Amino acid sequence: MTPHPLVQDLVDLLGAAHVLTDGDLSAWQNDWRGRWQGRALAIARPGNTAEVAQVVRLCRQHGASIVPQGGNTGLVGGGVPDDSGTQVLLSLQRLNRVRGIDPANLTLTVEAGMVLQSVQQAAADAGLLFPLSLAAEGSCTIGGNLATNAGGTQVLRYGNARELCLGLEVVTAQGEVWDGLSGLRKDNTGYDLRDLFIGSEGTLGIITAATLKLFPQPAAAMTALASTQSLAQCVALLGLAQARLGSGLTGFEVMNTFSLGLVRQHFPQLTQPLPACPWTVLLEYADTEGEAQARARFESLMEAALEQALIDDAAIAESLAQSSTMWHLRESIPLAQGKEGLNVKHDIALPVSAIPRFCAETDAALQAYYPGIRLVNFGHLGDGNLHYNVQCPLGGQARQFLDEHEHAINHIVFDQVQAHGGSFSAEHGIGALKRDELAARKSPVALGMMRAIKAALDPQGLFNPGRLL
C-alpha cells in the first residue's frame, strides 16, 4: 500500500523509526483517563528544534493539522488527536536534553520533552532547586507544563509554571523558530511573547525549549498533617501559618474524609498517621537556617493551632521517609479515584475566603440534584485551587453516571464557582473538555482578543484545532 505523501515526506525527514503509523499507538493516541481515543495519520517524533520546524513546514504544505504532545498526562483532552485519521501527532519526547545551566544567574535551559522529574534532578545536581512539583512529575514534560501553565503543590510559594519561566524557544505556524531563551529578569522591549505561548495549550506555537528559574536549596524542609473539623478552620489555619511562617510556607493542601477514605480503601499499605476526620491538612515549610530552627517554628505553629482550637491533632514528619509518605497520601488520591471508577472532575479556583461557603452551598446543591453522590474534594487551599470531583453513589455504574449526569453536575458547580468569583479552570487548562464552557462563560471581549491572536499567529488553524477556542 502506497503511504500517504505527507507520511512519506516525514519518513524521509525523520527516518522510519520516528514516524509511527502501525501497531499499538494507544500511548500517544489515547488520553490516560480513557475518555478520548484518537487516530492520527502518523506519530512524528523529531529529535531537535530544526526537525520540529521542518515537520511544521511539511504539514503546512500538505494542509494537515498538528497536535503537539509532551508526556500525554493532560486531563482535558488537549494533547491527543481527533478520530479523523488526518492529524499529525507531534511528540516532543525526544527533545530531552539539558542545554545549559548558569548557577550564578540561577537559570537552567532545557528542551521541552524533558520529564519534569529530570528537570528537578538537573537542578538538584547543581545544588539548586526547581520547585515545580505535581503528581505526574515522573512522566509529564516541561514543555507540556508550560503549554498548560501547570500549577502543582508549591504555587503558594513559587507560583505557577509561568512564574518559573524566563524564556522560550518556539516553532511558529510558519515553521520559523523564535529564539527567546533569555535568562533576563528584566527585558522591557515590547510585547511579552513568552507569556503569550505559556498556557496557550499548543494552539499558537510549539514550545521546544525553555529557560527556567532556579532557587537555592532550603536548608531544611518540614512536613506535617493536621486534622480539622471544618473548611473554615482550614482557612483560619492557613492564615495562622502564613503569619507564623511567612514565605517559608511552601505547601498547604486539604483533603476531605472521603478522598482519604478512597486512599485507605485502595492503597491500604499507605500509613495514615491521623484518625479519619472531616478534613486533613498537609503543610510543608522550608527554612534557610537549618532543621532545628525549622522544627521549633513548626512545632510552635501546631501548638498555637491547638490552643486556638483550629486543629484536633497533628503529626510532624520525623524523617524524609515520613514526609514522603505524607505527600504520597495526597498524591494517591487521583489514583484511588481512578480505581473507584470514572468521575466528574473539576479543577476550580476561588478566593480562599469564599471556599467554605462555596463548598457548603455546592455540596447541598449536588446532593439535592442526586442524593447519595460522593464528593472527592481535595487540593491546593493555599492558592485557592480545589479538585472538586463528583463520584457516583456507592454501587452505581460510573460510566453511565458520567454519561448521563456530567453536564448537569458541571452546570451546578460552574454556576456556583461563577457566583463566588472563581474560575472553572485553575491549572488543568481548557483542551477539548472545557472548550464550550469557555465560550459560554468567558467575557466576549476576552474571547474576541483570543481569536484575533489565534488568527494572527496561526491563520490556517494548523496547531491543535478544536482545543481551547
Q: What is the pLDDT of residues 400-431, one digit of tens each?
A: 999 999 999 999 999 999 999 999 998 888 98
pLDDT computed for residue 433 by the predictor:
84
Domain match, 352 and 286 both: no
Encode pLDDT of 310-338 as tens digits: 999 999 998 888 999 999 999 999 999 98
Averaged over 186-211, what is the pLDDT? 95
| 103/209 same-domain check | yes
Residue listed under C-alpha cell 453513589:
393
**Predicted pLDDT of residue 427:** 85
Q: Are residues 87 and 104 in the same domain?
A: no
Residue 57 resides in a domain: yes
pTM: 0.91
Residue 290 sits in which domain range? 220-334
pLDDT of residue 364: 97
Same domain, 397 and 415: yes
pLDDT above 90 for 392? yes
Angle at 373 between CA 394 and CA 405, to 5 degrees: 110
- pLDDT reported for residue 373: 95
Of the pLDDT bands very low, low, confident and very high (cuts 50, 70, 90), residue 1 is: low
User: Which residue among 275, 304, 334 closes a domain?
Assistant: 334
Question: Is residue 329 in a domain?
Answer: yes
Give pLDDT, residue 290.
Answer: 77
pLDDT value at 23 more than 70:
yes
The predicted-structure confidence for 219-251, as pLDDT tens digits, reads as follows 888 999 999 999 999 999 999 999 999 989 999
Same domain (yes/no): 194, 293 = no
Q: Is the pLDDT of residue 33 over 80?
A: no
Is residue 113 scored above 90 in pLDDT?
yes
- Residue 157: give its domain's CATH number: 3.30.465.10
Q: Is 305 exposed, middle or buried (0-12, 13-18, 19+ CB in 10 A)?
A: buried
The mean pLDDT value for 29-46 works out to 88
For the chain, what is the domain count? Answer: 4
Residue 468 lies in a domain: no
pLDDT at 2 exceeding the cut of 80: no
CATH number at residue 281: 3.30.70.2190
Indicate left, alpha or beta for 34 from its phi (over 0: left) and psi (-120 to 50: alpha).
Answer: left
What is the pLDDT at residue 294?
82
pLDDT at 63 over 90: yes
Query: What pLDDT was estimated at residue 136?
Result: 85
Among residues 158, 181, 216, which one ends one of the domains? Answer: 216
* Domain co-membership, 199 together with 227: no
Does 299 fall in a domain? Answer: yes
Q: For position 236, what pLDDT does the model report?
A: 97
| Confidence check: pLDDT of 35 > 80 | no
Same domain, 158 and 188: yes
For residue 467, is it within any domain?
no
pLDDT bracket for residue 17 (50, 70, 90): very high
pLDDT of residue 177: 98
314 and 348 assigned to the same domain = no
Mean pLDDT over 111-134 rounds to 96
Q: Are the C-beta atoms of 193 and 457 separated by less than 8 Å?
A: no
Question: What mean pLDDT, rounded, does the chain reach?
Answer: 94
The grid coordinates of residue 182 equal 533569555
The domain boundary residue, chosen from 62, 91, 120 = 91
Residue 253 resides in a domain: yes
pLDDT: is 90 or 219 the higher one?
90
Is 277 a member of any domain? yes
Assigned domain for 384 exists: yes
Percent of the chain with pLDDT over 90: 82
Residue 175, sorted as left (phi over 0), alpha (psi -120 to 50) or beta, turns out to be left
What CATH code is carried by the domain that includes residue 375? 3.30.70.2740
My answer on whether 149 and 108 are in the same domain is yes
Residues 102 and 114 in one domain: yes
Return the minimum-mean-pLDDT range out of 54-58, 92-96, 296-300, 310-314: 296-300
pLDDT for residue 240: 97
Both 110 and 207 in one domain: the answer is yes
Asked whether residue 109 falls in the same domain as residue 78, the answer is no
